[in-house]
Amino acid sequence: MSNHYDALGVSRDATGEEIKKAYRKLARKYHPDVAEGEDAQDRFKNVSHAYEVLSDPAKRRIYDTTGNENGTDNGSGSGFGGQGFAFQDIFETFFGGSGQSGPASRTRRGQDALINIRIDLRDAVFGVNKKIEVETAVVCPTCDGGCCQPGTHPTTCDICHGSGQVQRPVRSILGQVMTVAPCGSCQGIGTMILDPCNECNGEGRVRSRRTLTIKVPAGVGTGTRIQLGGQGEAGPAGGPAGDLYVEIKVNNDPSFLRDGDDLHATLSVPMTAAALGTELTLETFDGEQPISVKSGLQSGEVILLRGLGVTHLRGYGRGDLKVHINVETPVRIDAAQQDLLKQLAALRGEQVSEGKLVTSGGMFSKLRDKFGSL
């Protein structure tokens, strides 16, 4: 009497799932279609019989109690009718349960495509219509995606007769059963192309360069992607095209710096204009804008021009333009200018002697006088 547990390589307290797993592993190893020799066939029979008994709780209980290798009280066995040895186990073991149903389609969706384009900051502020050149797969103009030479058609496969599948007999513990697999002659499609198109070599698509006009919305930034549905790679055999993604890169601007939806600019103001106040103009993306410089304006101050920034991408309105003031101090001055500046310093109570500023009043002198009188 053989030991069913040893045949499956499991312990006597193995769970039903462990027994099932061990059986599937050994059945694949010793199946007649895989292994050769009488020894393999015998092992396959022993493994199958052991699983029939141990997978049925009632038969396993009888086997453990009486030692009857058939797991029955009368020793006659019950064939393969026990609930533990289901037909599903056989098909999952040998066929994987994933066979295709019917012929496969030659037509498939094309892949998505990605290209990069560069735009100026002005175009990002207002948006722009831009022409781009794209090289992708397009439907073959000769066969119109049919893959065949004009005037010909796909021929039904004489192996699978158009089903895309073939059957073959396999010996198993149930006797001879039929397996189903994709037809190797037509690759499971059911038809064959005997006269492929000369231009696309039977693929139904060719590479081509084409020009598209895309609308770049206002407010885009570097990294923004625009999706164009159906403008990507055409699929094989006239299949639907994938999508085209256009990734934006915004060029740096010599005059403006972008921060979110705000723009920043620097305006240099002469020292005299900053002291006296004046009206200047700044060239912006919206044209010349007047800048009012109040008297006594200091370097680093910011003048805000509302609504002259970048358009909000997902909303209404625009950001602001922030103008940073830089007061220019003259580098070279002539004698007459020096005299004027000295007169100004004297009028302001500022005396410059041998390159040093000598103060005759102001907060520090008042503090000195105050503490000196204590």
Kindly report, residue by residue over 13-23, the tens digit of the pLDDT.
888 888 888 88
Task: Using the predicted structure, report yes or no on whether residue 360 has a pLDDT greater than 50.
Answer: no
What three-state secondary structure class fits 238?
helix
Q: Domain containing 139 — which CATH number? A: 2.60.260.20
Stretch among 160-174, 256-270, 283-297 having the lowest mean pLDDT: 160-174
112 touches 242 (CB < 8 A): yes
Domain that holds residue 138: 100-148+202-252
117 and 242 part of one domain = yes
139 and 228 part of one domain = yes
| Alpha-helix runs per DSSP H in 130-264 | none
What three-state secondary structure class fits 97?
coil
Stretch among 150-159, 164-173, 201-210, 347-356 having the lowest mean pLDDT: 347-356
Interval 289-298: pLDDT, tens: 998 888 888 8
Q: Give one DSSP letter per residue of 30-96, joined into a string.
A: H-TTT--SHHHHHHHHHHHHHHHHHTSHHHHHHHHHH--TT--SSS---TT-STTS-HHHHHHHHHT
Backbone angles phi, psi at 295, to 5 degrees: -60, 135
In a domain, residue 122? The reply is yes
13 and 105 part of one domain = no
Residues annotated in the binding site, as ranges?
140, 143, 157, 160, 183, 186, 197, 200
What three-state secondary structure class fits 261?
coil
What is the domain count for the chain? 5
Average pLDDT over the chain reads 82
225 and 121 part of one domain = yes
pTM of the model: 0.60
Residue in 350, 345, 353 with CA at minimum distance from that of residue 364: 350
Task: Using the predicted structure, report yes or no on whether residue 244 has a pLDDT greater than 90.
Answer: yes
- pLDDT at residue 282, as a whole number: 92
Rounded to 5°, the CA angle 110-113-117 comes to 160
**How many whole angstroms from its chain centre is CA 228?**
15
242 and 142 part of one domain = yes
Amino acid 184 reads: G
107 and 232 part of one domain = yes
206 and 141 part of one domain = yes
Task: Using the predicted structure, report yes or no on whether residue 361 has a pLDDT greater than 60.
Answer: no
Interval 95-130: pLDDT, tens: 444 445 678 888 999 999 999 999 999 999 999 999
Residues annotated in the binding site for Zn(2+), as ranges?
140, 143, 157, 160, 183, 186, 197, 200
In a domain, residue 197? The reply is no
Task: Using the predicted structure, report yes or no on whether residue 350 has a pLDDT greater than 90.
Answer: no
303 and 348 part of one domain = no
- Per cent of the chain over pLDDT 90 is 41
